[in-house]
Amino acid sequence: MGIQITPSLLNADFANLEAEAARIPGADWLHMDVMDNHFVPNLTLGAPVIEALSKVASQPIDAHLMIADPDRWAPSFVEAGAGSVTFHVEAAAAPVRLAREIRAKGARASMALKPATPIEPYEDLLPELDMVLVMTVEPGFGGQKFLDLCLPKIRRARELIDNTGGGLWLQVDGGVSLETIERCAEAGADTFVAGSAVFGADDPEAMVRSLRETAASVSSS
């Protein structure tokens, strides 16, 4: 598995998500940020929007659940058409059971960590997962500045993933741009969420290509 770019539609035009997805045909996934105004201080979209977009978009959907009680709600996002569902371990009551349920329903299971949450206590959980998401900003709002203090955690996550011998993806989300993606790739990330960098560009598809090329140049060196 090579570099993957997953643009966040949090920074897209919510009035026409189908057209926004069509502007980035080269994206590997569409990253959908689900916020409930409880786990994070923002309210965005839910399963019905993901279900509608999954029927018209050519890219698979990567649902990032920044919500309370993901144990209850995460399975419904698989049923809505998400190909990957990420829950925050800080909010999950039974993360192993939840990851297994997501996988059993046919989606990739991913665990997200807020910037202050260490990866080490969850090493034994890694075999139950398909991806780990390291947040490089505090979750809740797009357009935030990248937190360099998260780079050591990305490196530790990469080491733990490699030690498991599995094929987990290591995703980063928050402040990813041409200026920061190189540092993330050097630290071991291979899957990148970029919102404002993509949809704030004059040519979003060209930005997707540039982000991929920049990260790939590091990974291949």
Is 203 a residue of the active site? no
Please name the residues in contact with 221: beta carbons below 8 A apart, sequence gap of 6 or more.
none
What is the C-alpha separation between 185 and 183, in angstroms, rounded? 5
Please name the residues in contact with 165: beta carbons below 8 A apart, sequence gap of 6 or more.
none
Q: Which long-range contacts (CB under 8 A, 24 or more apart) does 32-36 make?
A: 32/8, 32/61, 32/62, 32/63, 32/64, 32/82, 33/8, 33/9, 33/64, 33/66, 33/142, 34/63, 34/64, 34/65, 34/66, 34/67, 34/77, 35/66, 35/67, 35/139, 35/140, 36/66, 36/67, 36/68
Q: Mean pLDDT, to the nearest integer, of 94-118?
A: 97
Let me know: does 197 contact 5? Beta carbons within 8 Å: no
Let me know: does 122 contact 89? Beta carbons within 8 Å: yes
Is 173 a residue of the active site? yes
What is the C-alpha separation between 45 and 58, in angstroms, rounded? 20
Which of 28, 62, 173, 190 is labelled catalytic?
173
State pLDDT tens for residues 9-52.
999 999 999 999 999 999 999 999 999 999 998 899 999 999 99
Domain 4-219: CATH architecture, name and number where available: Alpha-Beta Barrel (3.20)
Q: Which two tokens stand for residue 207?
A: 């930005």
Q: Which two tokens stand for residue 137?
A: 């900003």
Confidence of residue 217 (pLDDT cuts 50, 70, 90): very high
pTM to 2 decimals?
A: 0.95
Q: Which two tokens stand for residue 67?
A: 């919500």
Q: Mean pLDDT, to the nearest integer, of 148-171?
A: 93
* Alpha-carbon dihedral 6, 12, 16, 22, rounded to 10 degrees: -40
Which residue ranges make up each domain of the chain? 4-219
Beta bridge partners of 32: 63
Smallest Cα–Cα separation from 45: which of 33, 59, 53? 33
Helix orientation angle between 70-79 and 95-104, rounded to the nearest 10 degrees: 10
Percentage with pLDDT > 90 across the chain: 89
Residue 85 has pLDDT above 70, yes or no: yes
Please name the residues in contact with 4: beta carbons below 8 A apart, sequence gap of 6 or more.
28, 29, 169, 190, 191, 192
Which of 33, 36, 130, 190 is labelled catalytic?
33
Confidence of residue 144 (pLDDT cuts 50, 70, 90): confident
